[in-house]
């Protein structure tokens, strides 16, 4: 092969290599330009352009739905939205209600606003009556919005023996599975030196009606609503509740200052029981604090509530109604 042919062949290879290199460069540049174009269309980029930080954008994209983000992009940067999105129990569909309530109640922190809106505590109590879903068993909710029907009576009620309760034989009853856990709770407390006694438990619709009407006639409706449930709205009708004191306290009101109560506060969740109407949560439950009122919800739910210091109303709104999203 002549030198000229060799040079020509080499030159062709050089041109080919150069062409391939240029093609690769063009492709890489094109891909990067396309990626940049697509990124500029993304919600992440648009939120950053509005002034949200990288961390804030991550939170917003994690907690807000696509529709909520799209709506957010039509407005100026809103630090309140970020504050609410940071809250553990933020529920996306409630965002506008959070913002509206917070706008009128600036002295309320965002954590409390989320709780208030989630449990409908911004509404008048009893302004809407929803039927309790009893198929949820120990996780059913009964409060000032959710009610049991007049004829609802739980199955498998068992009598709490007089060893564990005051009154006459047969006065106090619990659903069987709640009773089994109550016995575990009672024995654990007894081993620690606390002799718990049940003062009240299952109560049917008619009995609750009598209790409420007596309070209403004696103290007026407002006071009655703070201390007693209207018929159908009482947890006692579920068969999942025990009112408790101990043998060392003369009254339920004294119980809140007892060591037995402190033990329950620290340990009842291990057996699936919660203090349903705790102190400082009246604005969420609608009831005055009741240190004696303990509700069975199961160990998992009780543990979550204990660790996060939330009421059952809050738990139900987030984990049951909103499925923890």
Domain 130-321 belongs to what architecture?
A: 2-Layer Sandwich (3.30)
Residue pLDDT, tens place only, 70-115: 999 999 999 999 999 999 999 999 999 999 999 999 999 999 999 9
Residue pLDDT, tens place only, 138-180: 999 999 999 999 999 999 999 999 999 999 999 999 999 999 9
CA distance 78 to 91: 17
Alpha helices, DSSP H only, in 145-267? Answer: 176-191, 205-219, 221-227, 252-255, 259-267
Domain boundaries, the chain: 43-118, 130-321
**Mean pLDDT for all residues in the chain:** 92
The torsion of the CA quartet 313, 316, 322, 325, rounded to 10 degrees, works out to 90
Please say if 290 is a catalytic residue.
yes
CA distance 314 to 188: 28
Candidates 87, 138, 275, 290; catalytic one: 290
Residue pair 51/77 in contact (Cβ under 8 Å)? The answer is yes
Residue pair 91/118 in contact (Cβ under 8 Å)? The answer is yes
**Length of the chain counted residue by residue:** 325
Question: What's the pTM?
Answer: 0.88
Cβ neighbour number for residue 28 with a 10 Å cutoff: 10
């Amino acid at each position: 092969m002549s030198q000229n042919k060799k040079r020509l062949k080499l030159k062709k290879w050089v041109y080919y290599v150069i062409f391939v290199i240029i093609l690769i460069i063009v492709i890489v540049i094109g891909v990067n330009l396309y990626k940049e174009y697509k990124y500029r269309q993304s919600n992440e980029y648009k939120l950053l352009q509005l002034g949200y930080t990288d961390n804030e954008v991550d939170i917003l994209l994690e907690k807000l739905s696509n529709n909520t983000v799209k709506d957010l992009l039509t407005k100026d940067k809103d630090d309140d939205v970020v504050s609410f999105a940071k809250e553990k129990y933020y529920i996306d569909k409630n965002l506008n209600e959070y913002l509206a309530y917070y706008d009128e109640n600036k002295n309320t922190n965002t954590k409390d606003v989320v709780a208030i809106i989630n449990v409908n505590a911004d509404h008048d109590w009893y302004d809407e009556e929803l039927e309790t879903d009893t198929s949820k068993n120990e996780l059913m909710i009964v409060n000032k919005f959710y009610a049991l029907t007049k004829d609802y009576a739980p199955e498998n009620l068992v009598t709490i023996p007089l060893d564990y309760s005051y009154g006459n034989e047969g006065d106090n009853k619990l659903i069987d599975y709640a009773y089994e856990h109550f016995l575990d709770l009672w024995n654990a407390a007894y081993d620690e030196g606390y002799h718990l006694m049940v003062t009240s438990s299952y109560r049917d619709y008619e009995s609750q009606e009598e209790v409420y009407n007596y309070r209403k006639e004696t103290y007026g409706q407002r006071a009655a609503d703070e201390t007693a449930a209207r018929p159908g709205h009482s947890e006692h009708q579920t068969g999942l509740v025990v009112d408790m004191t101990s043998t060392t306290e003369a009254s339920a009101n004294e119980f809140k200052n007892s060591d037995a109560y402190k033990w329950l506060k620290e340990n009842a969740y291990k057996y699936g029981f919660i203090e349903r109407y705790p102190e400082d949560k009246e604005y969420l439950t609608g009831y005055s604090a009741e240190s004696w009122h303990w509700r069975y919800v199961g160990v998992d739910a009780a543990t979550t509530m204990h660790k996060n210091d939330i009421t059952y109303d809050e738990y139900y709104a987030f984990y049951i109604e909103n499925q923890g999203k």
